[in-house]
Amino acid sequence: MNFERIYATICQWAEAQGIAVRHARLDAKKAGEFNGLTATMNSSFSAEEQTYYLVHALGSIVRWSLSFEPVRDMFAELRAAKGSREDQTRLEAAIQRYRAFEIESSEFAVWLLGELGNGAAIPTYTNFMRADLEALTQFHRTGVAPVWREFFARWNDEVRSGARTVQPYHAKPIPEFTPKLIENQEILQKQPEQAAASE
């Protein structure tokens, strides 16, 4: 697949919605960041990874724009629950609400990929972002993020061996929305210690 072309079509769609897409050489552990009105992707990441992270960020921006206060409150509760980890019931409830938000963001993302004629990228996007969600869930539960390259390699080994099944996302059409300015959201990807130290 030509991810440069796919990425370009997603950028064009974003710009048409009033969301500016920028590129910069960010810290090695940061795949990108967005604030609702702009999305900045790390130019040192591959076109494939930038595509997945950007289209997912756009799905998140849609969800934020449609339900600003509930999403803001969900993230506030997740931070609060992580701050008092002794209440595991509260933490798990907050994580499940967070997961629902991330899944819905990906449902918007796969619809957008299909709508723009990039349906061939949906299976690889799905595998990548399902793995990403599990890595982030592990981070929220334990406070320790797995090293992405190692985590994703194990994930793919499990998928190939049949030990893990990748659940598809159900495409959810994006309704009309007006992008809203939100608190800056960082897209993080933990790197190996030596690689991080060399940056």
Q: What is the pLDDT of residue 197?
A: 32
**Residues 189, 128 contacting (CB under 8 angstroms):** no
**Residues 42, 50 contacting (CB under 8 angstroms):** yes
Report the C-alpha gap between 55 and 53 in whole angstroms.
6
Q: What is the pLDDT of residue 193?
A: 66
Q: What is the pLDDT of residue 190?
A: 84
Reading the chain (199 residues) residue by residue, the pLDDT tens digits are: 899 999 999 999 999 999 999 999 999 999 999 999 999 999 999 999 999 999 999 999 999 999 999 999 999 999 999 987 778 899 999 999 999 999 999 999 999 999 999 999 999 999 999 999 999 999 999 989 999 999 999 999 999 999 999 999 999 999 999 999 999 999 988 888 644 333 3
Report the C-alpha gap between 87 and 153 in whole angstroms.
33
Does pTM surpass 0.85?
yes
